Amino acid sequence: MKTVMLGLATALLAMPAVAEQIVGQPAGNFRLTDMDGRNVALSDYKGKTVVLEWHNPGCPFVRKHYDSGNMQRTQAAAVAGGAVWLTINSGAPGKQGHLSLAEAKGQYARDGSKATRYLLDPKGVVGKGYGAKTTPHLYIVDPAGRLVYQGGIDDKATANPADVTGARNHVTAALAELKAGKPVSVAESRPYGCSVKYAES
Amino acid sequence: MRRLLAFLAACFLAAPAAAQLAAQPRHLAIELVAESDSPAPGGEVTLALASKPDPGWHGYWKNPGDAGIETTLAWTLPGGVTAGPLEYPVPHRLVIGGLMNYVYEGPFAQFVRLKLPAGLAPGTRLPIAVKADYLVCTNEICVPESAQLSTVLTVGDGSITPERRAQFDQWRRAMPKPLGSAATFAVEGGKMRIGVPWPADQAADGPYFYPLTDGAIAYAAPQTVGRAGDTLVIETQGGGKVPGEVEGVLALDNGRGFEVRAVPGAVPAAAAQAALDWRAVLVAFAGAVLGGLILNVMPCVFPILSLKALGLARAGGDERAARGEALAYSAGVIAVCLALGGILLGLRAGGATVGWAFQLQDPRVIFVLLLLVTAIAFNLAGLFELSAPGAVNRLAAGGKGGAFMTGALAAFVATPCTGPFMAAALGAALVLPTAAALTIFAGLGLGLALPFLAIGFVPALRRRLPKPGPWMATLRHILSVPMFLTALALAWVLGRQAGVDGLVLGLGAVLVAALALWWTGTRQAKGRGLAWAPAAAGIVLALGGMLLVERKPAAATEVAALGAKPFSEDALQSLRAGNKPVFAYFTADWCVTCKVNEKAAIETATVADAFERGGVEVLVGDWTDGDPALGRFIERHNRAGVPLYLWYAPGAAEPRVLPQVLTPAMLAELPTRTGVGG
């Protein structure tokens, strides 16, 4: 059954295999299985702002933002503001950071994640479709389904948790601007972190 | 204090990765080395971060690619001492899971230049400390590391030990050199095209553009590189942004790198673009088939073909046998053409730094061609015989299996004829990619086999074949005339390249070879054994002349109109000690601006006259291979590398650095302005 769903996820993906999403254009739809085994599609959240976060629990740059509490704070603020937060793991089986459903549940609990859903993309189809290159790598889709931000979580490209203070959190800033009905001032930034551990094709 | 420690401990406990980091040995060993331990006040000293990743680990370039981060440095320096930016050597590419990484997988060294304030007392201790934060990864995992590095320098005379100098020079070779000419870029339909000035006659093997400007190109997308005159055209998928300028490093297979800065502008269409390329290959293929067809009436092939064809005609009505033999013959011809082409391509690969055109400019190649063409001409004229037809007779009788061998032989015997007549097509083949080049060689074979294929498949043709007879000998003698004319043309080229001495040497060698072949011819006519002995001896002797012809022309073509001598700091010192005006220029074969200046200004009659009258000595430094000693001298006067033009007036303490774009008038007035002109 699960393989059928994964197959469906691949088939439903309305975008070429390797592509990038363009800010201002409709974000590509996808369907993935979450850590509870439920099907989750981007189109389920039409009318809501959606944040996508690429995740690898073993990556030091991801740890910087989880162990400092920065990522959870950003998630909590986003959800409190009415947005949906989807964390996506595109790590291939056998690669660093790949999680099974059960492992994902454990990791989610240990990190105290505030994400709405934790999605698994072991074939990397959605990751590649979005051009996700690093962990973390963040995207924001507005209620109309258009991509309004892609890039890093902030502007301090280091692995040092002390650099969280004083950095500009691009996601928090973009969500605030969206809420205020203003255009997103920084709509793209260079993502930084570990490479997404895709399967060798 | 204790509370702070507790807080720090908590941070580390909460950060397993960081805790691991503290407990484990680092995966990248870094050593801070100063080129001079006793730098001079007011001067500069180069520091190296000599790094060695563990096996399987890699460090990152300034632009890490799709993921990763660059190295950051935090300096603790004595007052007045300042550190320049971190300079990176040329990286290499590592694609993991479809993502591009620009990395160093082996030992590498990054440079930082420290500037010392003037007025420091000799003997002053300068403690230098730096905290380096960097990322080191395997294909699987990444670890951010931090290293505290320090060294102590003592203000002195700036002396450098020979070992240190050699070590730094080795590292310097891996540093990209400033290209010296501005590049352009254009974004069209999501494609980024960058035009890098690069001389048309310079090889550029395995070029790759490492972008420093983020978002200019899609890192993992393949790059295609074509040539358009003096421009190397790099084409790849754009990165979604249109930057104001594109910076990066153009790297070649030999590990050399060039700093490129491109501004928006026109980028010429590459001559070797994929679509255009195949059209050119098709044209060359058609030319090769036609050339092969013409080769059939070449006297060295015609006898073989006619013997074989008559053999088929004799066989009469057996269609299947005729077709089978025609196909076998064609296979033999094409196989030999491909094999010869493969050998030629192999030679090209072996001498990758030398282009085909360059070889033809070598008088030694002309010398050998002259001998070969003359020998063929004398053969056609009937001075001597090649023993090939005898062997062919035997093979022609053999029928089916022999057909392949006959074809092979025909192709092989045809090669000397191929030289002068097919030079253009084969020359084109040698600059094409291997597959395309082999297609052309196969085309040549196909053309050569075509008449025989026709004879094999069309019985009517077989019945119409002319009978071999005395007319063939006459035709052969007539065909020696164009061959002799070819030899005459080659002699002229040799004279142009190697001067009168080289020309006489070449003609002398031709005379020796001709006499020897004549002797062989007489022995053949009398039916003596060992008829080829005199010819072999004569040809060896004649070819020996090639060794004499090499040196002189090389010097004759290299020396510019000004009688320039190779630059060295010693040469410069001794000339200046003699109170002579000196014009020193620094050039490289890959520098287009340099070549333009040389042609348009330096090597003109106006300048030659003015320098002659002014008694100006000219020194030329060739930085083509990035010689570090020359590099240091160039850098002292101009950070931007070549071109660099220096004018040392007699008695002046410092040279005048001339502009990077020269005019003949600007150079011609140099001796007069300093009052040495006559």
Please state the φ and ψ torsions of residue A32, each to the nearest 5 degrees: -135, 165
Determine the distance in angstroms separating the CA of A184 from the nearest CA of chain B, rounded to an integer. 17
Judged by average pLDDT, the poorest of A104-118, B82-96, B248-262, B348-362 is: B348-362
Contacts of A198 in chain B (CB under 8 A): 97-99
Q: How confident is the model at residue B582 (pLDDT cuts 50, 70, 90)?
A: very high
Gap between the Cα atoms of B19 and B238, Å rounded: 40
Nearest CA in chain A to B66: A133
C-beta of residue B251 within 8 angstroms of C-beta of residue B90: yes
Q: What is the CATH number of the domain that holds B132?
A: 2.60.40.1250
Facing residue for A159 by CB, picked from B16, B70, B144: B144
Q: Are both B152 and B195 inside the same structural domain?
A: no
CB < 8 Å & 24+ apart, contacts of B83-88: B83/B112, B83/B113, B83/B114, B83/B115, B83/B130, B84/B112, B84/B113, B84/B114, B84/B115, B85/B112, B86/B49, B86/B62, B86/B110, B86/B111, B86/B112, B87/B111, B87/B112, B87/B113, B87/B175, B88/B61, B88/B62
Higher pLDDT, B60 or A13: B60
Q: Are both B257 and B280 inside the same structural domain?
A: no
Identity of the amino acid at B418: T
Judged by average pLDDT, the poorest of B83-92, B396-405, B640-649 is: B396-405
Domain boundary among B527, B554, B581: B554
Q: Are both B374 and B469 inside the same structural domain?
A: yes
Facing residue for B69 by CB, picked from A63, A128, A157: A157
Q: Are both B565 and B550 inside the same structural domain?
A: no
pLDDT at B352 over 60: no
pLDDT at B677 over 60: no
Q: Mutate which of B69, B102, B139, B212 to test chain A, going by most A C-beta atoms within 10 A?
A: B69
Q: How confident is the model at residue A173 (pLDDT cuts 50, 70, 90)?
A: very high
Report yes or no on A168 lying in a domain: yes
The pLDDT of residue B622:
86
Report yes or no on A83 lying in a domain: yes
Report yes or no on A27 lying in a domain: yes
Please state the φ and ψ torsions of residue B256, each to the nearest 5 degrees: -80, 145
The pLDDT of residue B467:
62
Higher pLDDT, B134 or B490: B134
Report yes or no on B5 lying in a domain: no
Task: Give the Cα-Cα-Cα angle B290, B292, B298 (nearest 5 degrees).
Answer: 115
Judged by average pLDDT, the poorest of A28-37, B546-555, B619-628 is: B546-555
Domain enclosing residue B464, as ranges: 274-554
Report yes or no on B667 lying in a domain: yes
Domain boundary among B500, B528, B554: B554
Q: Quickly tell me which residue has 């204790």 as its tokens.
A: B2
Average pLDDT over residues B563-586: 89
Report CB contact under 8 Å: A198, B101: no
The pLDDT of residue B311:
61
Q: How far is CA B116 from CA B148, B155, B177, B555, B598, in A?
A: 22, 9, 24, 45, 38
Q: Are both B193 and B326 inside the same structural domain?
A: no
Bridge partners of A169?
A154
Q: Are both B104 and B217 inside the same structural domain?
A: no
Average pLDDT over residues B68-75: 93
Tokens for B345? 């391509």
Average pLDDT over residues B323-335: 84
Q: How confident is the model at residue B348 (pLDDT cuts 50, 70, 90)?
A: low
Contacts of B141 in chain A (CB under 8 A): 58, 96, 194
Q: Quickly tell me which residue has 């895709």 as its tokens.
A: A198
C-beta of residue B284 within 8 angstroms of C-beta of residue B278: no
Report yes or no on B255 lying in a domain: yes
Report yes or no on B79 lying in a domain: yes
Q: Does A201 touch chain B if contact means CB atoms closer than 8 Å?
A: yes
Average pLDDT over residues B448-468: 76
Neighbour count for residue B294 (Cβ, 10 Å) = 15
The pLDDT of residue B229:
80
Q: Mutate which of B72, B95, B131, B141 to test chain A, going by most A C-beta atoms within 10 A?
A: B141
**Please, what is the end-to-end C-alpha distance for chain A in angstroms?**
25
Average predicted confidence (pLDDT) for chain A: 89
What H or E segment, with its residue span, contains residue B619?
A: strand B617-622
Report yes or no on A24 lying in a domain: yes
Report CB contact under 8 Å: B69, A192: yes
* A122 preceded by a cis bond (ω within 30 of 0): no
Report CB contact under 8 Å: B97, A96: no
Determine the distance in angstroms separating the CA of A14 from the nearest CA of chain B, rounded to an integer. 20
Q: How confident is the model at residue B455 (pLDDT cuts 50, 70, 90)?
A: confident
Bridge partners of B134?
B145
- Structurally, how many domains does chain B consist of? 4
Report yes or no on A157 lying in a domain: yes
Contacts of A61 in chain B (CB under 8 A): 142, 144
Percent residues over pLDDT 70 in chain B: 77
Quote helix, strand, coil % in chain B, to nearest 5.
Answer: 50, 20, 30
Domain enclosing residue A102, as ranges: 2-195
Q: Under the phi-then-psi rule, with left for phi > 0, alpha for psi from -120 to 50, and beta for the rest, what region is B180? A: left
Report yes or no on A201 lying in a domain: no
C-beta of residue A184 within 8 angstroms of C-beta of residue A148: yes
Report yes or no on B522 lying in a domain: yes
Tokens for B456? 């094999």
CB < 8 Å & 24+ apart, contacts of A159-162: A159/A60, A159/A61, A159/A64, A159/B69, A159/B133, A159/B135, A159/B144, A160/A64, A160/B133, A160/B144, A161/A64, A161/A67, A161/A68, A161/B11, A161/B15, A161/B18
The pLDDT of residue B156:
93
8-state DSSP, B655: P
Nearest CA in chain B to A69: B14
The pLDDT of residue B562:
66
Single out the residue of B29, B35, B169 nearest to residue B112, CA to CA: B35
Q: Mutate which of A67, A196, A197 to test chain B, going by most B C-beta atoms within 10 A?
A: A67
The pLDDT of residue B368:
76
Q: Are both B191 and B116 inside the same structural domain?
A: no
Report CB contact under 8 Å: B215, A157: no
Report yes or no on B178 lying in a domain: no
**For B316-433, where are the alpha helices, taking DSSP H only?**
319-350, 356-360, 363-381, 388-398, 400-430
Helices B400-430/B434-457 angle, 10° precision: 140
Beta strand pairing call for A117-120 and A84-89: parallel
Q: Given CA atoms A123, A129, A130, A131 in this order, what sign does their dihedral have?
A: positive
Q: How far is CA B577 from CA B572, B583, B609, B649, B653, in A?
A: 9, 15, 24, 12, 12
pTM: 0.62
Tokens for B619? 């020194």
Bridge partners of B131?
B74, B148
Report yes or no on B20 lying in a domain: no
The pLDDT of residue B84:
94
Percent residues over pLDDT 70 in chain A: 90
Contacts of A194 in chain B (CB under 8 A): 67-68, 137, 141-142
Q: Are both B565 and B547 inside the same structural domain?
A: no
Q: How confident is the model at residue A4 (pLDDT cuts 50, 70, 90)?
A: very low
Nearest CA in chain A to B139: A197
Report yes or no on B2 lying in a domain: no
Q: Are both B250 and B328 inside the same structural domain?
A: no
Please state the φ and ψ torsions of residue B187, each to the nearest 5 degrees: -105, 120
The pLDDT of residue A88:
96
Q: Are both B479 and B332 inside the same structural domain?
A: yes
What digits encode the pLDDT tens for the residues B479-533? 677 678 767 877 877 787 777 888 888 899 999 989 988 888 888 878 776 777 7
Average pLDDT over residues B129-144: 91
pLDDT at B613 over 90: no
Q: Are both B490 and B631 inside the same structural domain?
A: no
The pLDDT of residue B124:
93
DSSP letters, B455-488, are HHH-HHHHHTPPPPSHHHHHHHHHHHHHHHHHHH
Q: Are both B53 and B118 inside the same structural domain?
A: yes
- Structurally, how many domains does chain A consist of? 1
Maximum Cα interatomic distance, chain B, rounded to a whole number of Å: 114
Q: What is the CATH number of the domain that holds A110?
A: 3.40.30.10
The pLDDT of residue B31:
94
